[in-house]
Structure 1
């Protein structure tokens, strides 16, 4: 076990300290995420009132350290790890934010920074209140890879949902321009190349489906008795919906609201798969980990 000499009290203090730091820094980043017009007063040239990476670097790093302390099982009496629905959500938010920090260099994503900061803030608080349950060392050497692939798919679908929301907003603003409300739409114009944004959305969906497929195959392969419990059922249903979305787009050219609705529904099923089922077991029923 990593740093097994650390006591449970010290581990809890580290978790609390990093979490509080991340929450405070995310709140600051969300508050400073307002935009101001650039010189000349052009709304399309608006820029963040606080540098994106400087504003998010500190909470991003503190968030990672809190996850490391929590998930690594630091301070546990027995070798293993600690995990649950809240750390899974927190890790997903951190992965989405990581992609955003890289992508913001290449593509303008206005309005996303505040939403992501607030989302990460909430998940850090959840993970602090519900840090997960102690889990012994995995029986199969493939189990850690299964968990990593599952979390990676969560993060990729989270990024895809973020892009879909921005895509829907941009399309709605374009319709406002066509209906005559030009001034209002122009003042909130995201300045996004729609075709590029749409292409990125489905690239993330495709990558997420690939990761989810591998995670499901590994889970089925190393599990002696596959059970159709709520977690597996929702995961397979989510895979069917998202695979159907990619098939419909390739064959029938699905796009726009129809495509994003499929994406939202598939992502919701996946959210109910692990995070939802673990929330019921850990918080509502208070059962030990399976």
Structure 2
């Protein structure tokens, strides 16, 4: 018997695929995609994505924080944020990245999520801390992808023959402005997540959070230094790209590394 989550997953993937190809064909033909069609089709996909995620993540025993559920949540949130950013900046082409990421996260979450991965302490404040952490991670991951694309874009622009994907991207200045929009949003979310964490966690060692916390704080310092350098000293370009990549590398070591080791290797 086919389950409803499977049906919702298939329908969400159909919506994502439709939105991707509609946007891709219009951008290749140098025609502007219909904004409202993209909003509606992606909203349908995200609604179905959220329904599947709710079935796997929200249970009678609490929130199931399985690593694949978190991957699904993060990927869907990235697409939501991409749609929001593209609503006021001419960066709709970046949804060509956000849609496959959301679709992949949905597939992994549906196929591989495990039950009974609950937090040891059930509290609203702790749930807020986790959601804020995931949201910050999603935005800063988007900023990292943005920085990589800017580096590649800058390298390709120096060549006489540009590749197709470079022509699909917005101008470098627009890409840079969006990068700092993402960094500011992610930094605020990361700050709030760290503050909630300090108030909610009783024992960082016993709860296996020391490693994650140390790397998160170092990452926070790196992002903060970049934002101060940008707004006060005009840091941009390659320096901004390097700081962004370094900050996310540290954040990923703390967030993904500790999660993978505890769940996959140590089974905790």
Given the two structures, how large is their TM-score scaled by the length of structure 1? 0.76
Structure 1: 5+ residue runs without aligned partners? 1-8
Contact 2:8 2:48 (8 Å CA) reproduced: yes
Q: Give 1:20 shift.
A: 3.2
- Structure 1 runs, 4 residues or longer, greater than 4 Å off: 48-51, 185-188
Quote the residue 1:171 is aligned against. Answer: 154
Q: Give 1:98 shift.
A: 1.0
Quote the residue 2:125 is aligned against. Answer: 142
1:96 aligns with 2:78: yes
The number of residues matched between the two structures is: 263
Quote the residue 1:247 is aligned against. Answer: 228
1:207 corresponds to which of 185, 207, 212: 185
Contact 1:170 1:190 (8 Å CA) reproduced: no
Q: Give 1:69 shift.
A: 1.8
1:46 aligns with 2:28: no
Quote the residue 1:6 is aligned against. Answer: none
1:192 aligns with 2:182: no
Q: CA RMSD in A?
A: 3.2
1:216 aligns with 2:194: yes
257 and 136 in structure 1: CA distance in 2 versus 1, 3 angstrom threshold: closer
Structure 2: 5+ residue runs without aligned partners? none
Which structure dedicates a bigger proportion of its chain to helix? 2
Given the two structures, how large is their TM-score scaled by the length of structure 2? 0.81
1:238 aligns with 2:219: yes
36 and 149 in structure 1: CA distance in 2 versus 1, 3 angstrom threshold: closer
Contact 2:9 2:106 (8 Å CA) reproduced: yes
Q: Give 1:59 shift.
A: 1.8
Quote the residue 1:262 is aligned against. Answer: 243
